[in-house]
Every structure is written in C-alpha cells, then in structure tokens.
Amino acid sequence: MASVEPLPQPALELPPRRRGRRSSLRSWRRGDRVIFVAAWSVGVALCVIAGAIVIYLGVEGLRYLDPKLLVTSPSPSVDQATSGGFLDPIVGTVTLAVLGTLIATPIAVSAAVWVVEYGRPRWLAVAVETAIEMIAGTPDIVIAIFGLALFQLGIFAPLSFRSSGGGVYGRSFLATGFMVSLLAMPLTYTATRNALQAVPRHLREASYALGKTRIATIRRVLLPSVRAEMSTGATLGMGRIIGTTAIVVLLLGASLQTSPQGNVPLLGFLRGTGTTLTGYVFANSPSGEGNAPQKAYAAAFVLMILVLVLNAAVERISRIAGANTVQAGRLAR
Amino acid sequence: MSNNGTMLIDPIVIERKSVTAPGFPGLAAATSPERMRLDEVTVFYDGVPAVRGASLAIHQGEVLALIGPSGCGKTTLLRTLNRLTELTPNARQGGRVTLDGEDILEIEDTALRTRVAMVFQQPNPFPMSIFDNVAFALREQARRRPRRRELGPLVQHALERAGLWAEVADKLDTPALRLSGGQQQRLCIARAIASGPEILLMDEPCSALDPRSTSVIEELIHSLREDLAIVIVTHNLQQARRVADRVAFMYLGDLVELGSTQQIFEAPRESATSEYIAGAFG
C-alpha cells in the first residue's frame, strides 16, 4: 500500500488522569444496591477462604515437610521417624493423572466432535449428552464400587492379576486409570463441545468452499480452533483426577508402596497396585489406619502445590494456545 | 415481474462490447466462452422459496454482480453455484446448474469447490499461519502432505496475485489472525485462488471493510478477472458499477433483470430495477 507522508505533529502535553462525577450508591435502586454489595462480599469471602486454606496448609505443611520425605518410599513402621516418606504416592498421583487424561481426552474430544459436527440421529446425540451428564454427576465412590465389580470380571484379568485361588484381583493402576478417566471426561467433553459450538459457521463453510471434506475440516480447522478450550478442559480434568480419593482407596489396592506385578518394566508397574497423595493423606489422617497427621499435612501441602501448579498451567496453556484462535484474533483487532 | 431467463442470455454477448472501457482489460475477450449456466434454479428454505427460477450464464473473464435488497436471494443464488446450499439441512433446490456443460450435481463436491472457489462476507482466516492458510487448499487429502518447499512458490504466487505479498513476505509464519481486516480479506482471496479455480464467488467481500481496503480489493477484482470468471454479491451499487461487466438485479427471489452494467444503471428495462437503482427502496 502507498504510504502517505505524516503531517508534522506539535508536542502535546499528557493530561492528568481525571474522572468525572459518578452516580452515588445511595441514588441506586435498592435491588441494585443489594446485588452490588452481595457481589463484592461473596468475591472477597471466596478470596479469604482460598487464602485461609493455602496459608493453613502452608504453615502446617512446611512445619512437617522434610525434603527427605519427597524422595523416600513409605515403609511399614509404628515409629514415625522410620515410616518413610511419600515418594510412591507422588509417583502414583502423576501416573494416574497422565493415564486418566490420556484415556479421557481422545474419547471426550471425539464425542464432542461427533455431537456438534454430526449429531445424527438426533436421539443418539441426546443420549450421548445425557450419558455424559450422568457420569459427571456420579459420586466418586459409586464409580469406585462399579469399577471394582467390573474389573474383577475374568476378561479383565490382564489389567491386574489372578490370585492363586483363581479370582481376579481387579485393583491396579490400569483399572484405576480407566475409572478416573470418567472423572475427567465430562470436563473435557463440555469444554470442547462449547468451543466447537462457538466456532462461527462461516469458518466451516470457508473450509468446505475450498473443497475440503467434513473430516478434513474438523482435523485442520476446527480442532486447531478449539485447542485452547480443549487443553483447559483436559487440565481441569487432570485436577479432578489428582483430587479423587474414593476411587484410589478402593481400586488402587490400598498399598502405600507401589508393588508391580510381573517383570515387564512399565506394564508390570501399571498392572500393580499403589497409592496417590490423596490416598496417603487419607491413610495417615486420624480416620485412616496410619494416623500420622504430621505426614498427612506434609503430603497435603505437596498435593496443594501440585494443584496450584496445574492451575497455573491451565492459565498458561489457554493463553499460549489461545493466541492463535479466532476469538483471540477478534480481540486483537 | 418478469423472469425471462432465455431472453437475457444472448443479447449480453453483444452488449458486452459496448461496455468496453480503458482499464477494463478483461472485456477485450468479449466473445469469451460460457462457463457456467443456471437453468430455472429454485431454492426453498423450509418450503419457502428464496430463489424462484433464476436462469443466467457466466462467461470466462467477466465480473457479474448480483444486486438487490436484503433477503432477495442473491447470496442463496451464489451459494448454489458451489453447492454450499447443500450444507443447509432445510434447503431444497430445483433446476440445473452446469459447469462447462456438466451438471454440477454430477461433479464431486470437493472437486467442484476447488474449481468454483468462494470468498465470504466476514474475513475468515483459519487459526493458523499466513502460509498455512494459503497452502490449505493446496494440501490434498492424499496420504502424503506436500512439503513446504514444493508449496512455497505456489503460495507466493497466490499472495502476489492477491496483492498481499509485499506486506507479508517476511512474516509468513505469524498467525493470520494478527493481520488487519483488509489484509485478512485479501488473504482469504489468496487462499481461494491458490488452487487455481475457474470461477470465483464473492459474497459481499467488502461489506466488513473500510473504504481504503475496499478500493484495494476492487482493484484486485479488476486484475483477477483476466483468468477467472467472478460472480460478486454486493449491497453497494457504486461498487457494482465500478467492478462489474454485467449486473443482475434480484428482488423477492426473482431474477428481475440482467444486463450490461451500463444498461442496468442507465437504462433499466424493469420499473423495479430503476426504483432500486434510484434508491426508492433497499
């Protein structure tokens, strides 16, 4: 484009920041005033509660947290000085988070794509929606019991192991991974579905108008468009997995140490049992069998740090992935 | 209101000569061959007719403008040409559209749409880099994706024809959504012409743009028509007058009148056309 020579600009003084007169709170309708005050108080209260949890756990956790605890395995002992740390629970938490997310994300994204982009026959789409809503509303403990019943079936023996009596044990990282994926799936599904529904129609049509098929449009245009929301949903799902206790206590074997099955390196580990940080906190809390509150505090502190890091990651991912999406483009303009 | 398709097609070839003006190089080929033909095309949405029996021909190297008030069916008519109407579940279509004599229903939709490309009202770059946007249509759905080295010259050529190359040559890898609105629309044109279409459909391509970007795109239309037939829907009568060789006026789903730009604007045959042109309604 041709450039136009700019006119010479006289220097302008930056005016001071000023604000004109605004309406006073007293002149508002009563309803508006109530909502205004309520919104402020609820917002502040939430911050105070969140801050209180972080500070309390921080103080208690740091008091008992010894770096050695992070790198030593738990060992059975009545004496707290020799009962070890929580290396195994940390490994367990990370393993389950990765495993559950790896299982949940492809299923959730495929379901969302199918419901939004195909969605025929209509009744099937409605059924899928309802099923996912039901999964989202199912309490952890119900999912745990169902999982236990399911994975003790003979055909699922490869996921855990058969005891000498012939019964299937049904508890392992793999079995737990499948069940915790149910916690993450609705979050990823909802995030992806909402994002796909928000993609303007003309973007799809632009791709069709270039001679692309529907599936090519989904892969090359739609999924890249919703990357930010998709990863936010998956990360939130990961947070749900990290936070679950019931499924871990029932399905992961309730052993504080990881105990692999067989000699195959990774598979053996996944077929074996173990625990997570939440399971460890539960076991060491006054209601668990360990009853070592100091260790529970320290582990809870680590758990909280993990969740906070994950939340920060959500923020970052959605910002980076979102920088190149339609919505961001609209904002930038 | 007459809807006389057969009458409209033949005189045009003769009239095209009369519009020939300096700066309109595309018109030199006044006897250019017919590429697309619409025969009694009707489109219904939910049983309500949106286009009623439109017939017209589109010639190589011309710019045909569809004008008319909102809701008159001009965008719908445009969308029948690359079968985008099929994507609207409640749309039904009658009549026949041919491309080089072949019924477009017989052509695979993906093949048809690489030959009949389209630019939309809203600039709609994909959420990817400038390069990938233009290369999008070139990357066949084959098992092997062509390498960037092979696509580079084609992408550059398309961007040059769209008049965008000078502005983006050094930032091909930045996200396309960072471009300004006018640049985005020219990118969409580059994307549409990259695979070498024969017909270019433009659905109010300038209505979301400022006057400066509009004039850049109008110049672009002039230069593109040398090797394409362009069908452009526009609300802007002045724009139709500036860019089109022929103009079709539509009203309430009917193709009321089709003629050379000069004839439509200076001596419309139908009263509805003259009222619309004079600004009596819109």
Residue with tokens 């529904």: A197
CB of B167 less than 8 A from some CB of A: yes
- Interatomic CA distance for residues A228 and B132, integer angstroms: 19
Distance from CA of B197 to the nearest CA of A (A): 10
Averaged pLDDT, A48-75? 86
Q: How high is the pLDDT of residue A125?
A: 93
B95 and B255 Cβ atoms separated by less than 8 Å = no
- The confidence score (pLDDT) of residue A322 equals 63
B178 vs B165: CA distance, rounded Å: 16
pLDDT computed for residue B19 by the predictor = 38
Distance (Å) of CA A54 to CA A70, A322, B56: 20, 29, 72
Letter for the amino acid at B193? I
- On the question of pLDDT at B277 being above 60, the answer is yes
Contact B143, B181 (CB under 8 A): no
Alpha-carbon distance of B81 to B233, in angstroms, equals: 13
Q: Can you tell me the mean pLDDT for A239-244?
A: 90
The per-residue pLDDT for range A183-208, each reduced to its tens digit, is 999 999 999 999 999 998 889 999 99
A324 pLDDT higher than 60: no
A/B interface, count of CB pairs below 8 Å: 88
- 10 Å CB burial of residue A18 (0-12, 13-18, 19+) is exposed
Q: Collect all residues with Cβ–Cβ distance below 8 Å to B46 and sequence separation of at least 6.
A: B90
Mean pLDDT of A34-49: 96
Residues of A in contact with B118 (CB under 8 A): 205-206, 209
| Band (A161; pLDDT cuts 50, 70, 90) | confident
Q: Is the peptide bond before A121 cis (omega within 30 degrees of 0)?
A: yes
End-to-end CA distance of chain A: 19
Is the pLDDT score of A172 beyond 90? no
Query: What average pLDDT does the structure give for chain A?
Result: 84
Sign of CA dihedral B219, B222, B223, B228: positive
Flag whether pLDDT at A268 surpasses 80: no
Please list every residue in chain A whose beta carbon sits closer than 8 Å to the beta carbon of residue B192: 209-210
Residue B141 pLDDT = 52
Q: Average pLDDT of B198-225?
A: 88
Closest residue in A to B193 (Cα–Cα): A210
What pLDDT is recorded for position B143?
56
CA distance A309 to A306: 5
The alpha carbon of A165 is separated from its chain's Cα centroid by a whole number of angstroms, namely 39
User: What local confidence, expressed as pLDDT, does residue B8 receive?
Assistant: 40
- Does residue B232 carry a pLDDT above 90? yes
**How high is the pLDDT of residue A46?**
96
Task: State mean pLDDT over B178-202.
Answer: 91
Given B109, B125, B136, which is nearest A220 (Cβ)? B136
Strands of the B246-251 sheet, one edge to the other: B102-103, B91-99, B34-45, B48-59, B254-260, B246-251, B63-67, B229-233, B199-203, B116-119
In the prediction, which pLDDT does B29 show?
40
Instruction: Pick the closest to residue B235 from B79, B74, B82 (CA basis).
Output: B74
In sequence order, what are the beta bridge partners of B247?
B65, B259
Higher pLDDT, B165 or A83: B165
- Closest by Cα among A302, A286, A322 to A92: A302
Chain B residues within 8 A of A326 when measuring between CB atoms: 127, 177
Residues of B whose CB is below 8 A from A227: 127
Contact of B126 with chain A, judged by CB distance below 8 Å, is answered with yes
Indicate the range of A60-74, A224-238, A239-253, B52-66 predicted with least confidence: A60-74
Question: Does an H or E element contain B271, and which?
Answer: helix B271-277
- Which pair of structure tokens corresponds to residue B228? 């394409």
ipTM of the modeled complex: 0.80
Q: Does B197 touch chain A (CB under 8 A)?
A: no
State the pLDDT at residue A153. 82
* Whether A203 and B87 lie within 8 Å, measured CB to CB: no
Asked if A202 and B178 come within 8 Å (Cβ–Cβ), the reply is no
Q: What is the mean pLDDT of chain B?
A: 83
B229 DSSP β-pair partners: B199
Mean pLDDT (whole number) for B198-210? 90
Continuous segment of H or E residues that includes residue B134: helix B130-135
Mean pLDDT calculated for residue range A27-43: 93
Q: Which amino acid is at B171?
A: K
A216 lies within 8 A of chain B by CB:
yes
Are B120 and A324 in contact (CB < 8 Å)? no
Residue with tokens 């019931």: A246
- SS3 letters across chain A: CCCCCCCCCCCCCCCCCCCCCCCCHHHCCHHHHHHHHHHHHHHHHHHHHHHHHHHHHHHHHHHHCCHHHHHCCECCCCCCCCCECCHHHHHHHHHHHHHHHHHHHHHHHHHHHHHHHHCCCHHHHHHHHHHHHHHHHCCHHHHHHHHHHHHCCHHHHHHCCECCCCCECCCCHHHHHHHHHHHHHHHHHHHHHHHHHHCCHHHHHHHHCCCCCHHHHHHHHHHHHCHHHHHHHHHHHHHHHHHCCHHHHHHCCCCCCCECCCCCHHHHHHHCECCCHHHHHHHHCCCCCCCCHHHHHHHHHHHHHHHHHHHHHHHHHHHHHHCCCHHHHHHHC
**The pairing of beta strand B254-260 with beta strand B246-251:** antiparallel
Q: Which of A118, A122, A210, A325 to mutate to test the interface with B (most CBs of B within 10 A)?
A: A210
The answer, as to whether pTM is greater than 0.90, is: no
- Of all residues in chain A, what percent carry a pLDDT higher than 90? 29
Give me the pLDDT at residue B5, please.
Answer: 40
Of residues B53 and B27, more confidently modeled: B53
Q: Which of A212, A326, A329 sits opposite B110 (nearest CB)?
A: A212
- State residue A225's pLDDT score: 87
Q: What is the pLDDT of residue B7?
A: 41
Count the residues in chain A: 333
Q: Indicate the burial class of A231 (C-beta count within 10 angstroms; 0-12, 13-18, 19 or more).
A: buried
Q: From the CA of A212, how many Å to the nearest CA of chain B?
A: 6
> Residue B36 corresponds to which tokens in the numbers above?
């697309």
The string of pLDDT tens digits covering residues B114-131 is 899 999 998 999 988 899
| A271 vs A251: CA distance, rounded Å | 12
d(CA B15, CA A9): 53
Query: Given A202, A212, A220, which is nearest B124 (Cβ)?
Result: A202
Mean of pLDDT values over B226-245? 90
At position B199, the amino acid (one-letter code) is I
pLDDT of residue B196: 87
- The token duo for A138 is 């199912």
**Which H/E stretch holds residue B212?**
helix B211-224
| Each residue's pLDDT tens digit, A98-147 | 899 999 999 999 999 999 999 889 999 999 999 999 999 999 899 999 98
Token pair belonging to B69: 């008030």
Q: Tell me whether A121 touches chain B (CB under 8 Å).
A: no
